[in-house]
A and B are shown apart, each in its own frame.
Chain A
Amino acid sequence: MEVHGELWTLKEFFVYPNEYIYWSLQIVMYPFMTGLVAGAFVLSSLYHVFGRKELKDMARFSLTFSYALLLAAPMPLLFHLQKPLRGFNVFFTPHFTSAIAAFGIVFFLYASIVASEIWFVNRKFFVESAINFRNAEGLGNRIKGFVYRVWTLGAYDISEESLKKDERAVKILAGIGIPAACFLHGYAGFIFGSVKANALWMTPLMPVIFIMSAIVSGIALCMLTYIIIMQIRKVVILRKRKPWMTSAEEVRSVEIDAIKMTSKYLIFFMVMAITLELLDLVFRGYTALKHWDILRVVIYSRDFFNIFIIQYGIGTILPLIIFLMPRLTIRRATIGLFLVLVGVFMMRWNVVIGGQAFSLTFSGYMDYILPVIPYNYDTFKEGVGGALLILFMPFFFLWILNKLIPVVDSTNRVIENK
């Protein structure tokens, strides 16, 4: 019999007997996923609130994608819990001095904002589809028709005037949504930043750092997925081109423009994120409190590769160079975006795992051995298998949403359904 955490913890020097790496890969996944949610939403809001016209296509896509990510965001927590079936206790008896207790409230508040925004954005489509499918035949189409009829919520008015009102509603919701998204993720940072027992985590900068890197990762994932979807679409369109469909060349040109525009915002938030992270590091070194001795060893030697090579080198500096060099191509952008995602993931890793890399004694270390090949329930759900499953989920949800909602653009869908 072993205690939870013992399977993947290697202790060195003086570590308290009960100390293990209790927060493992799924707790790395959790802020990574909520970060993607928040980032995707902020990207879509740049268009809706600040009227950045160049982001129009991207905005519609990232809004829906944000929702798909949102559905997957609580899953790492459930995988992490020792008693997942009791997860609902958080809603029954929320203990509000705990940062995690607010999760339910923040999550549902945010989910309802995103859902209603999606509804307003797609209302015209719902109404048109509901009318189209009214007398449809076949079970699939009848179910679709029913879903659309429910989704119209009885509001069939799609006059110019009411659509204007929809746009206003979207704008307001997106406006409320930005602070909500920042709150959703800032509070994930608060979960770590408020743990006074952990020398690496405890800093008031943690929520802000988390928000910035969240926006970076969200924008990057949206761009990456957008590129992939556009490429797939291009292939599909080329294969079964019909006269009323967008031509392959048009698809291509839309894509690179959107990517160039969005990458400007990406660079801005990346610079913000790295500035804050370096500020935190410099401050720790300068004040050199009691725990700095061990933190220095962890940061500059034991985790050097993870922090300075992967997170800052490959995950931040390299993509910055890629995006700042002139004549950005799709292929180069794709590589850069992938590296950005790796960098943000490693930032989460270095916070969560790095925070447990040293003992509370300040004179011992713990090494995390990532379980790759699962040999029991724990090593699956808190190993590579569980993490991959969770990474896959948002795309699965997006695929389902795409069956019912125009994820990329709405121009052809209604006609296609006829």
Chain B
Amino acid sequence: MNFDRREFLKAGFKTILATGFSLGAFEILRPEVLAALKKEEGIRWTFLVDTTKCIGCGMCVRACKLENEIPYEVNVSRTWVERYVMTKDGRIYADSPNAARDGFIKNDPMGTMVKKEDIDKAFFVPKLCNQCENPPCVQVCPVGATYQTPDGIVLIDRKWCIGCGYCIMACPYGVRFFHPVYKVAEKCNFCYHRINKGMKPACVDACAFGARMIGNIRDLGDPVARIIKTERTAVLKEEYGTKPHVFYIGLDSIVR
């Protein structure tokens, strides 16, 4: 066959177009891209923690362990409560013994007895998975066993996880661990099985003081969404760019 320059350029152009379009289809038809097309629809689960209401009883941790079958005696938990104590001499004590499963019953942060009159400020901060909009754990999973649902919850496929621990390393909040029984990655999922049935997560139901709330940030009538939009709230470790979706009222700069 004899090609002159014009024909060559024509054919080349066509080839580039054809490959471009067919390769582009992979990009356009990607599930995430398709999902993004119909954005701002449906539910986006969001959690709100009012730290000023938390008294550190640990009922949420106990409820979570029972609900989600995390062995009671094992030193891991999907949710936990941290205690922060700042004394008058500027020292900061922080701890969460047994993930606060048994509550805080003594004035002994980090094993030191602190007198009441020495304390400048002290408070509790409940922690759980932040269900990030940009979850690093999902990004690093080599087999795609952990994934984000359209309503924003990051789930783990216990039947597909290989247990490499990369997601545990990638989470800046330390919410992930290996399930002691199933030997795969495990973390809080806002009790996905409950919230899908119209129930509240176990920890929310267990909290007698209303420190934990869950809602849909896309629903303007939702009380949780209203608080987040109209009041002063903060998220944890914003600098990692993960866009966490657990918002806090009364967060302090000493909170880690």
A and B together in one complex? yes
- Confirm or deny: A135 has a beta carbon within 8 angstroms of a beta carbon on chain B: no
Residues A3 and B183 in contact in the complex (CB < 8 Å), given A23-B169, A83-B163? no
Q: Are A3 and B140 in contact (CB under 8 A)?
A: no
Q: Are A20 and B142 in contact (CB under 8 A)?
A: no
Q: Are A100 and B177 in contact (CB under 8 A)?
A: no
Number of A-B contacts (CB under 8 A): 144
Interface stretch of the complex, out of A31-39, A114-122, A355-363: A355-363
- Confirm or deny: B71 has a beta carbon within 8 angstroms of a beta carbon on chain A: yes
Q: Select B163's contact among A82, A194, A197, beta carbons within 8 Å.
A: A82
> What 1/0 flags go to B142-177 for Cβ under 8 Å of A?
111100000000000000111111101111111111
Q: Select A195's contact among B144, B169, B174, B241, beta carbons within 8 Å.
A: B169
- Confirm or deny: A240 has a beta carbon within 8 angstroms of a beta carbon on chain B: no
Determine chain B's interface SS by DSSP, over half rule: loop
Chain A contacts with B in 15-40, Cβ cutoff 8 A: 16-20, 22-23
- Confirm or deny: A86 has a beta carbon within 8 angstroms of a beta carbon on chain B: yes
Q: Are A83 and B180 in contact (CB under 8 A)?
A: no
- Confirm or deny: B136 has a beta carbon within 8 angstroms of a beta carbon on chain A: yes
- Confirm or deny: B227 has a beta carbon within 8 angstroms of a beta carbon on chain A: no
Q: Given the complex of chains A and B, what is the CA–CA distance between A95 and B140 in angstroms?
A: 8
Chain B contacts with A in 83-114, Cβ cutoff 8 A: 92, 94-96, 98-99, 110
Inter-chain contacts of B172 with A (CB < 8 A): 196-197, 360
- Confirm or deny: B256 has a beta carbon within 8 angstroms of a beta carbon on chain A: yes
Residues A360 and B161 in contact in the complex (CB < 8 Å), given A2-B75, A14-B256? no
> What 1/0 flags go to A177-211 for Cβ under 8 Å of B?
00000000000000100111110000000000000
Q: Given the complex of chains A and B, what is the CA–CA distance between A216 and B77 in angstroms?
A: 43
Q: Are B184 and A100 in contact (CB under 8 A)?
A: no
Shortest CB distance A96–B (Å): 9
Q: Are A95 and B143 in contact (CB under 8 A)?
A: yes
Q: Given the complex of chains A and B, what is the CA–CA distance between A372 and B44 in angstroms?
A: 48
Inter-chain contacts of B80 with A (CB < 8 A): 16-18
Inter-chain contacts of A6 with B (CB < 8 A): 75
Inter-chain contacts of B142 with A (CB < 8 A): 90, 94-95, 98-101, 103
Q: Are A3 and B75 in contact (CB under 8 A)?
A: yes
Shortest CB distance A369–B (Å): 16
- Confirm or deny: B178 has a beta carbon within 8 angstroms of a beta carbon on chain A: yes
Inter-chain contacts of B140 with A (CB < 8 A): 97-100, 194-195
> Smallest CB-CB separation from B71: which chain A residue?
A1
Shortest CB distance A23–B (Å): 6
Q: Given the complex of chains A and B, what is the CA–CA distance between A80 and B80 in angstroms?
A: 27
Inter-chain contacts of B183 with A (CB < 8 A): 4, 82-83
Q: Are A360 and B173 in contact (CB under 8 A)?
A: yes
- Confirm or deny: B139 has a beta carbon within 8 angstroms of a beta carbon on chain A: yes
- On chain A, the number of residues with a Cβ less than 8 Å from chain B's Cβ atoms is 47
Q: Select A14's contact among B94, B138, B240, beta carbons within 8 Å.
A: B94
Q: Are B178 and A2 in contact (CB under 8 A)?
A: no
- Confirm or deny: B17 has a beta carbon within 8 angstroms of a beta carbon on chain A: no
Residues A1 and B74 in contact in the complex (CB < 8 Å), given A23-B169, A82-B163? yes
Inter-chain contacts of B141 with A (CB < 8 A): 95, 98
> Smallest CB-CB separation from B81: which chain A residue?
A17
Inter-chain contacts of B76 with A (CB < 8 A): 3, 17-18
Q: Are A18 and B164 in contact (CB under 8 A)?
A: no
Shortest CB distance A182–B (Å): 21
Residues A18 and B180 in contact in the complex (CB < 8 Å), given A83-B161, A95-B143, A103-B142? no
- Confirm or deny: B117 has a beta carbon within 8 angstroms of a beta carbon on chain A: no
Inter-chain contacts of A100 with B (CB < 8 A): 140, 142, 164, 166
Residues A86 and B160 in contact in the complex (CB < 8 Å), given A17-B96, A98-B142? yes
Q: Are B94 and A361 in contact (CB under 8 A)?
A: yes
Inter-chain contacts of B160 with A (CB < 8 A): 86, 89, 93
- Confirm or deny: B73 has a beta carbon within 8 angstroms of a beta carbon on chain A: yes
Q: Given the complex of chains A and B, what is the CA–CA distance between A135 and B177 in angstroms?
A: 61
Q: Given the complex of chains A and B, what is the CA–CA distance between A97 and B148 in angstroms?
A: 14
- Confirm or deny: A5 has a beta carbon within 8 angstroms of a beta carbon on chain B: yes
Inter-chain contacts of B77 with A (CB < 8 A): 17-18
Inter-chain contacts of B171 with A (CB < 8 A): 197
Q: A17-B75, A93-B143 are in contact. List 7 more A-B contacts (CB 8 A).
A: A2-B74, A3-B76, A81-B162, A84-B162, A100-B140, A196-B136, A363-B92
Q: Can you list 29 residue pairs at the A/B interface with Cβ under 8 Å?
A: A1-B73, A3-B177, A16-B80, A16-B174, A17-B76, A17-B77, A18-B174, A22-B165, A23-B165, A81-B162, A81-B164, A83-B184, A86-B143, A86-B161, A89-B160, A90-B162, A93-B160, A94-B142, A94-B143, A98-B166, A100-B140, A100-B164, A195-B140, A196-B172, A196-B240, A360-B172, A360-B174, A361-B94, A363-B256
> Chain A residues in contact with chain B, CB under 8 A?
1-6, 13-14, 16-20, 22-23, 77, 80-84, 86-87, 89-90, 92-95, 97-101, 103, 191, 194-198, 290, 359-363
